[in-house]
Amino acid sequence: MDEVKEYCGVFGIYSPNTDVARLTYFGLFALQHRGQESAGIAVSDRRDIVCYKEMGLVSQVFNEKILNILKGDIAIGHVRYSTTGSSIEVNAQPILVSGEYPLAIAHNGNLVNTLELKRELDNEGIKVYGTSDSELMAKKLSLYYNGDIVSALLKVLPSFQGAYTLVILTKDKLIGVRDPYGIRPLVLGRFNGSYVLSSESCGLDIIGARFIREILPGEMVIIDESGIESIRFTEANPHLCIFELVYFARPDSKFGTRLVHEIRQEMGRILAKEAPADADLVIPVPDSGVPAAIGYSQQSGIPFSEGLIKNRYVGRTFIQPDQRLRELGVKLKLNPLKEVIEGKRIVLVDDSIVRGTTSSQIVNLLRESGAKEVHMRVSSPPITYPCFYGIDTAERKQLIAAYKSIEEVKEYIGSDTLKYLSVDGLLRACKGGSEGFCTACFTGKYCIEIPKAIKITKGILE
């Protein structure tokens, strides 16, 4: 079975007498940054569940006609990104399992025990069509679901190892689940006297729902006609993915009581203290480096300026599947403001360096535009380990900082200096944003044991 890495967005709404499919469409639209490969919505009208999903962006997949077919008052939705090889429609979500007790699930995260689950389902004679761990979860849940979804979940959840944030739809219930580590986020909102679930709070804002709180690690919430019930299905061991705060989440989303934009500015302020530079201008890599560059400028007193203008209609460079296209992507995306850059000593700020492609190209663009010096500052530590819990940070050998020293990375990207934020500085910046973080991509400390076979494929073990 192919190994599938995913980072996704999920959304769910329970709201009688409302066009829930349309609201889910808008929720997914706000979560589009979490996955651009496929989108889907499943709706229950209390008698049955209907699901529509396709490859493409939310605005390409849905139109008035399709939304009008999706009638009901409970819905879940999903946007998905996955790596090459698993970019097939059968892996799109939500996953609907039909039958006397139909259910649909949408998953964000990545399990580490998929082989075991697959074997179990094979033994039960249950066919699995796609290559995603989410399908395995849906099939296993359905195996135990005879009308009582809570007992079925209590039975199957302990067998899921890894990261899972789930929204589940039955004929009459909306359920939200976060794994005991809470690796991927999920928030609860209030809408029209009822409830909404969303990967990030920006999914609530877009439909005018009020943020209530985060679903806690190891918590399940059941939303139905009697209101909302919360069950702690296991002890929590909070390890929110810190990369959500570094890069992945939208800056206008909230974690705990803090806005991501504010947390990222703080990363920039701490970076300026840890890694000062003698320079004339602070320029961000748009859009990912903007909040940290503002923070860096505030702390250092070096003026902030835009220096690279982004074509707003080009997606994230990572959408391109191969290295050659990825390299072209940066040029398609950014145009330098020559008059601003010429003759200046520049602090270039980005949130992260993964393979080193983006920064080397941008440093080059700045040099071509006449920059006198380029001091690269990164608002997260060097990424030295791959992620197994749902962020596409590639195999270890593709991570430039895993096999090159900081000095060598500096040479590779061509900057005059290169400095990263420390792990301690990053944790300080995120304080109060949420409790407990997974920092595995920076430290190699994985909170959930990774099977040896997977470690070998990802280059952590020989």
Work out how close the CB of 276 gets to ligand AMP at its nearest, in angstroms, rounded to a whole number. 22
Binding mask 321-350 for ligand AMP (x = CB under 6 A): -----------------------------x
User: Which of residues 287 and 373 has its CB atom nearest to ligand AMP in the complex?
Assistant: 287
Count of residues touching ligand AMP (by CB under 6 A): 18
Kindly state whether residue 244 participates in binding ligand AMP, applying the rule CB under 6 A.
no
Work out how close the CB of 109 gets to ligand AMP at its nearest, in angstroms, rounded to a whole number. 14
User: Which of residues 247 and 437 has its CB atom nearest to ligand AMP in the complex?
Assistant: 247
Q: Which stretch binds ligand AMP (CB under 6 A): 64-72, 88-96, 354-362, 403-411?
A: 354-362
- Give the alpha-carbon dihedral of 347, 317, 109, 120, to 10 degrees: -140
Kindly state whether residue 356 participates in binding ligand AMP, applying the rule CB under 6 A.
yes
User: Which of residues 44 and 357 has its CB atom nearest to ligand AMP in the complex?
Assistant: 357
8 in active site: yes
User: Which of residues 252 and 278 has its CB atom nearest to ligand AMP in the complex?
Assistant: 252
Q: Which stretch binds ligand AMP (CB under 6 A): 196-204, 221-229, 389-397, 447-455?
A: 389-397
Sheet holding 417-420, edge to edge: 281-284, 345-350, 373-378, 417-420
Work out how close the CB of 263 gets to ligand AMP at its nearest, in angstroms, rounded to a whole number. 15
Work out how close the CB of 39 gets to ligand AMP at its nearest, in angstroms, rounded to a whole number. 18
Kindly state whether residue 110 participates in binding ligand AMP, applying the rule CB under 6 A.
no
Kindly state whether residue 357 participates in binding ligand AMP, applying the rule CB under 6 A.
yes
Judged by CB under 6 A, the chain residues 286 through 315 that form the site for ligand AMP are: 288
Work out how close the CB of 129 gets to ligand AMP at its nearest, in angstroms, rounded to a whole number. 27
Spot the catalytic one: 8, 202, 438, 447: 8
Q: Going by C-beta distance under 8 Å and a sequence separation of 6 or more, which residues neighbour residue 269?
A: 295, 296, 298, 299, 429
Work out how close the CB of 389 gets to ligand AMP at its nearest, in angstroms, rounded to a whole number. 12
Work out how close the CB of 303 gets to ligand AMP at its nearest, in angstroms, rounded to a whole number. 22
Per CB under 6 A, the list member of 353, 366, 418, 430 interacting with ligand AMP is: 353
Per CB under 6 A, the list member of 101, 233, 318, 412 interacting with ligand AMP is: 318
Kindly state whether residue 352 participates in binding ligand AMP, applying the rule CB under 6 A.
yes
Per CB under 6 A, the list member of 351, 363, 365, 439 interacting with ligand AMP is: 351
Per CB under 6 A, the list member of 391, 402, 447, 448 interacting with ligand AMP is: 391
User: Which of residues 355 and 404 has its CB atom nearest to ligand AMP in the complex?
Assistant: 355
Q: Which two tokens stand for residue 170?
A: 């039955």
Give the footprint of ligand AMP on this chain (CB under 6 A): 247, 285, 288, 316, 318, 350-359, 391-393
By annotation, the residues acting in catalysis are 8
